[in-house]
Structure 1
Amino acid sequence: MLNPVELPQHYNYIGVFLSLACNLSCSYCINHTVGLDQKRRHLSGKEWVDAINRIQPQDGTSISLQGGEPSIHKDFYYILQNIRTDLNIDLLTNIQFDPYEFIERIPTSRFNHDLPYPSIRVSYHPETMDLGETVEKVLILKKAGYPIGIFTVDHPISKAQTEKARIVCHDNGIIFKTKELLGKYDGQLFGTYKYDDAIFAKELKTVQCRTSELLISPEGNIFRCHHDLYNKKMPIGDILDNDFKIEDIYRECKYYGMCNPCDVKLKNNRHQEFGHCSVDIKF
């Protein structure tokens, strides 16, 4: 058994990227804009279970299984079945899997039903997904007792589809929320950011940056931000290293201006209070 990894009190998010590959390909996916390398080694299910089970969150902070698409990991169900039951688990998925197999293999008790948001968050992408099929799958899981909702990116090209999805979800009692489009579309920058000059800048700056997130890549490396994780730059540790400890410090970064929008946007914290930013930057 690996030594526990204690998280600082202010840490707001734990992102476990089981895979950066995806079984869909959306034109606006932010991963396409940041040099994402999808061909990466994956930890085995056993390695992921060992890694996740050593994490000691503060105040019940959830561990988010995400990607890419986490359900395409070959040991997806093994991982869910063997994570410590006292850990809160969130699942971010495009729900391309069979919902009946999910019900058969994963109990509803695996997910926390008392959070201010659904633990299973289904990403609906009108460009590549059928609304009827998506709603049908979500209803199967909802009726079986899973805390689940549908989330979609508020993109200019899919306003009509988004409004239709909102109505259909309302009529079926499904939680439905939109998320800001991040990045550029048709020459316009979308998103609400704490650091406006941190993305798509012509010149880079050197800054000191401190994270409030534990981000673990498919191969088990720990990164301080999404930019570094997606581009495999400067890992700060290995989740399978028995001696790994989180250093809650400011670190030098020479890539300010190329930040991933996810890192510098303003968003809700884990308590659903708006105004949180994943990083704190000193200039």
Structure 2
Amino acid sequence: MSKRVLITGGNSGIGFCTAEQLVARGAEVILACRDQTKGQAAIAKIKNAHPQAKIRLFPLDLADLEQVRDCAAQLYQELGHIDVLINNAGVVPTRQEFTKDGYEMQFGVNYLAPVLFTHLMLPLLKKGTAPRILHVASVAHWLGRINKKTWKGRKPYLIMDAYGQSKLANILFSNVLADRLKEIGITSNALHPGGVDTPIFRHVPNAIMALIRPTLTTPEKAASLPVSLALDKQYVGITGEYFANHKTALRSPRARNSSLADELYYDTMAELGIPAL
């Protein structure tokens, strides 16, 4: 029986390659993307290579919490279940930007909106088979600190500080879900796909990219990890882990701090105005 996998931001980079590899292994893929034109182009490209692919597109703008709720409502209407949720979408703006709801863009898009979306997807996941939640984090979480004072803006805006906070928050959220969903059989794991040459670097100056690019892997190679975590039997029942290079990896002390995870979780629920699990 094929798995139904929902991927956020699956129209380019790691998300696209993940979608293509999932389809090649017989999974049904649901893409949730902000740019519908790019999303349709991604589907056309995948279907060209895999004519029998089962793949659909839904609109999801993580920079607008109302649209996150709208997307969830549409998914409820059209899908009976999902087996895997991959929170893949992310941004790294070089200048400070803000979501429609007034949050610093990296915090809002990389962390806050995926938290809301994940909670809204739980009813569909509960109906899935051996359901799994995956969070695309980063080794950059080692740079991260949770600082509520920065959630609605930073002075000065430090790109990697903001990125590190969002990726640390991803792992802490994954840990909380693993603990609170274990009894109902939903697993939650985070992963570092590796340094990848993807459109997430599109705002980085060319001179800096010339130095970074030789250290990066390809999106195709990076996608093999989320694909494996989504489909392979060896990960059934595995939860609360952080993976890199297809094995468990060391998390920063902050990413292993359960008190920090709980504090962030309850503060986040307050920001979103939804009940904690």
TM-score, L = length of structure 2: 0.35
The higher radius of gyration belongs to 1
TM-score by length of 1: 0.34
Higher strand share: 1
Higher helix content, 1 or 2: 2
